[in-house]
Amino acid sequence: MRVVAALLLLVVAYLGTTYAQVVIAARDGAGDVGPATQAIIVLGAAQYDGRPSPVLEARLEHAVTLYDLGVAPVVVVTGGQQPGDRSREATVSAAYLLRRGVPEEALRREVDGANTWEQLAASARFLATESIDEVVLVSDPLHTK
């Protein structure tokens, strides 16, 4: 019985330590970014009737942090309108960033992409017209696997 209790205590301690490490790492919002670049591209995710999904909101908050740290002077939001939606992902994202203090002149919108490839290709095309070719992508771990 004591062996089982000791094993259970070790498992709980291990899980608690791992959880604490993840929380601490997650709070270091810009630790994954090197020197300043030209633009931040926020990859689209679901929006619900004009409100960002939790996944999209987390991406947008990370972009606000990066923008506020001066990582880039331009923020690109991406995402078109899925069947049945009344709003485009990029439009919802831009509105969110405006409310969080990112100025309109810093925002660029890619509003037609239906998937990540289309969003990035379209963003690259219009950023090239501004001679922007160095970007930081904002997504999430599940999306990048």
Question: How would you write the pLDDT of the chain (145 residues) with one tens digit per residue?
Answer: 877 666 666 555 554 455 444 444 444 544 555 668 999 999 998 889 889 999 999 999 999 999 999 999 999 999 988 777 788 999 999 999 999 999 999 999 999 888 999 999 999 999 999 999 999 999 977 666 5
What pLDDT is attached to residue 19? Answer: 47
What pLDDT is attached to residue 36? Answer: 82
What pLDDT is attached to residue 25? Answer: 45
Decide the pairing of beta strands 51-52 and 47-48. Answer: antiparallel
Q: 33: phi > 0 → left, psi -120 to 50 → alpha, else beta; which?
A: beta
∠ CA(139), CA(73), CA(49), 5° rounding? Answer: 45
Q: Determine the Cα–Cα distance for residues 14 and 127; give it in Å rounded to an integer.
A: 46
- Among 99, 102, 79, which Cα is nearest to 89's? 79
Q: Determine the Cα–Cα distance for residues 2 and 48; give it in Å rounded to an integer.
A: 51
User: Both ends of the chain: CA-CA distance in Å?
Assistant: 42
Single-letter amino acid, residue 35 = P
CB atoms within 10 A of CB 114: 13
| Token pair belonging to 140 | 């999430």
What pLDDT is attached to residue 49? Answer: 87
Single-letter amino acid, residue 104 = E
